[in-house]
Structure formats: C-alpha cells, structure tokens
Chains A and B, each alone.
Chain A
Amino acid sequence: MQLRNSSSRYGLVSVLLHWLVALAVFGLFGLGFWMVGLDYYSNWYRRAPDLHKSIGLLLFAMMLLRLLWRVISPAPAALASHDRLTRLASKLGHGLLYVGLFAVMISGYLISTADGRPISVFGLFEVPATLTGIPDQADLAGLVHEYLAWGLVIFAGIHGLAALKHHFIDRDSTLIRMLGR
C-alpha cells in the first residue's frame, strides 16, 4: 500500500489515521463514560481521567495532522456508482464528524483548563490553558462535552452502518477502500 492517496485509492496514512481516530473516539467515549462513575478509592479514579485527557489531546494532534494530510494528499474521487445525493450526504456527514470531533475535544479541554491549570499528557509534557474564566466554564463545557460526545458516537455509529450498507446492500467498494484496497 502506498503512503499517499491516489485518485481511486486511500493510501496507508489516511487508512491508519481513519482507524486510529475511530479506535480513539470509541475508546475515549467508553473510558469517559466509565470513569465518571468510579469510586473515590478506585485505583483508576485519578488514572482514568489522566488517560482520557492525554489520549484526547493526542487525538486532537492526530486530527490536525489528518486535516493537513487532506490538503497534502486529497481523498480519492467518489465512486462512479454514487449518485449526487449520496455524494452530498457523504460530504455533509464527514463534515459533521470532523466538526463534532473538534467540538468534543475542545469542550473537554475547556473543562480541565477552566481555572488556568494545564493538562499533562502522560506526564511527558503539558498543554497550557488558553481560554479561562468564562462564567461557569467547567460546568458549561462539561455539559457540551457530554451531549456532543453522545451525539458524536451515535453519528459515528451511523457512519459505520452506512459503510456496511454500501458493502452489503449496494455491494460497492466504499468500505473496502477504507482498508486501502
């Protein structure tokens, strides 16, 4: 598999980025859902949120890289069998996924940095606070983070179902292409 996308195929970079982001999104959702119910004396009470934030910030970096890569190596053309509506829906859906991802990550960042504290990424380096002091910042950002995260995983689930529909019902190569073939 080549690194770059061609006009008909996804390259290794896009494929890896796609599946890593997918893994991170569902992993972070599960981790986040689980960690907020942890007992105070749980071994994970402090570790799970640290992991969640660290992975979240790495995901942010990965998404920036992904956007950059889209510019460097544009996605292959839509399949010839896809009609205008399918193409439009796909564009809109992917756009929403990107916007949703960034909104969830930014709102999460705004919870932890609400009072100016930085976020430590695996204890290796710190990401400083930027926007602080919005009234009720942690609570508002928390609410946005929670609802948008739900929205995002549901939407990502629909995205996955749509891929399965292309594969099993339309019998086209939409899903196969995302494996680099």
Chain B
Amino acid sequence: MLKKTLAAFALGGALLSAGQAMAADYVIDKEGQHAFVNFKISHLGYSWLYGTFKDFDGSFSFDAANPEASKVSVTLNTASVDSNHAERDKHLRSDDFLNVDKHPTATFESTAVKSTGEGTADITGNLTLNGVTKPVVIAAEFIGEGSDPWGGYRAGFAGSTTLKLKDFGITKDLGPASETVELILSVEGIRK
C-alpha cells in the first residue's frame, strides 16, 4: 500500500516536472488586440514616421524555464498597413512598396531562440515580405506573464528588428536616411 502510494507520488512528480519543462502554447491576443506590429522609418532624416499593420495573427510557445525552446509564428495581412494617411497607405500597398496584390501576406517563422540575458533573447527566423524570404533576428524582451483577471493566463513580449528595404525587393528610393525600416512588435499571448 505504502509502496503503491510512493510510486504514485513519484509518477505524479515526474509528470509534473515533465509538464513544467514543456513549453506552453499561446495564441496572440487578436480578439482583444493586445498585440501590435508597428514600423518606424525616417522621413528625409528629419523625423520618424510610424505605421502599423492592423490585421495579423499568430502563436508562440514559451517556457520561462527554457526560453531557448520557444517558437513563434506570425502571419500578417500586408494590405492592412495604416500610417494614418489614406493616400500614403494606398501608395504603400502599391508595387512601389508592399505590392499587396501580388504578396498579400507576410510571415515570420522562428528557427532559433538564443537567450541574451535576463529576460532577453535573439529570435532568429525567416521573414517573408514582398515575396522575399530572408533570415532576420528579432531582439526580444520578455515583459511578463501571469493570470489575467478573467480566468486566462497570459505572457507578453516586445521585440524589434531592422530591415533593409532593398533586401526585400522594395526599391522605391526614399532617400539615404530611409533605406531601413524598424519593425517594432508588441505581442501578448493567451495560453491555449
């Protein structure tokens, strides 16, 4: 009897630790829109222009105890670009920039996560934008995780990466100060 109980405990303990070591899966909170894919690009070298992609979705798996096992995948609708100026957004959707008719989606698929310090990591992955797939490294920061007030469990991150427009086939010349764009991500996931 005692033996059996101990065995059950041991088994339970093993399962529990295995459970802890397993990364939890999260879906990006699109419904509550606690996630943003923003970008920032220099205008002539004189100011920052900010924009956002309103429509995207994705998921990630994350375990604070083993962050390098994390994975993330995001798909976004390139036509949802919004820089607070309808005429400019129309231009951004044209083949001068995002070419959304031909390439309606952009995706990011992580391939490796490397811890760089307390709560920070470099997420390497393949970014497909304007039909071009290139590896990029997102410098990510773990912001926090825990129960939310409505019975769910959430984890959130911030991250950024800088892209050369030319690398992704965007050749419209905006001037020497505007050859790169910074993607700025703020993502909150709800545990599945």
Q: Which residues of B contact A137 (CB under 8 A)?
A: 86
Interface positions of A (Cβ within 8 A of B)? 39-41, 111-112, 114-115, 117, 136-139, 142
B92 to chain A, nearest CB (A): 11
Known: A40-B172, A40-B175, A41-B173. A115 touches B85 (CB 8 A): yes
Q: Which residues of B contact A117 (CB under 8 A)?
A: 85-87
A40 to chain B, nearest CB (A): 5
User: Total A-B pairs in contact (CB under 8 Å)?
Assistant: 30
- Considering the chains assembled together, what is the distance between the CA atoms of A40 and B49 in angstroms? 15
- Considering the chains assembled together, what is the distance between the CA atoms of A136 and B101 in angstroms? 13
Which among B79, B89, B175 has the greatest number of chain A C-beta atoms within 10 A?
B89
B53 to chain A, nearest CB (A): 15
Q: Residue-by-residue, is B165-187 near A (CB-CB < 8 Å gives 1, otherwise 0)?
A: 00000001111000000000000
- Considering the chains assembled together, what is the distance between the CA atoms of A142 and B172 in angstroms? 20
Q: Would you call B34 an interface residue if the criterion is a C-beta within 8 Å of the partner chain's C-beta atoms?
A: no
The 8 Å CB contact of A114, one of B79, B86, B93, B172, is B86
Q: Which residues of A contact B174 (CB under 8 A)?
A: 40
Are A139 and B93 touching (Cβ within 8 A)? yes
Are B86 and A138 touching (Cβ within 8 A)? yes
- 23 examples of A-B residue contacts, CB within 8 angstroms: A40-B172, A40-B173, A40-B174, A40-B175, A41-B173, A41-B175, A111-B87, A111-B90, A114-B86, A114-B90, A115-B84, A115-B86, A117-B85, A117-B86, A117-B87, A136-B79, A137-B86, A138-B86, A138-B87, A138-B89, A138-B90, A139-B79, A139-B93
- Considering the chains assembled together, what is the distance between the CA atoms of A115 and B86 in angstroms? 6
Are A142 and B90 touching (Cβ within 8 A)? yes
A142 to chain B, nearest CB (A): 6
Q: Which residues of A contact B79 (CB under 8 A)?
A: 136, 139
B163 to chain A, nearest CB (A): 19
B135 to chain A, nearest CB (A): 29
Q: Residue-by-residue, is B113-139 near A (CB-CB < 8 Å gives 1, otherwise 0)?
A: 000000000000000000000000000
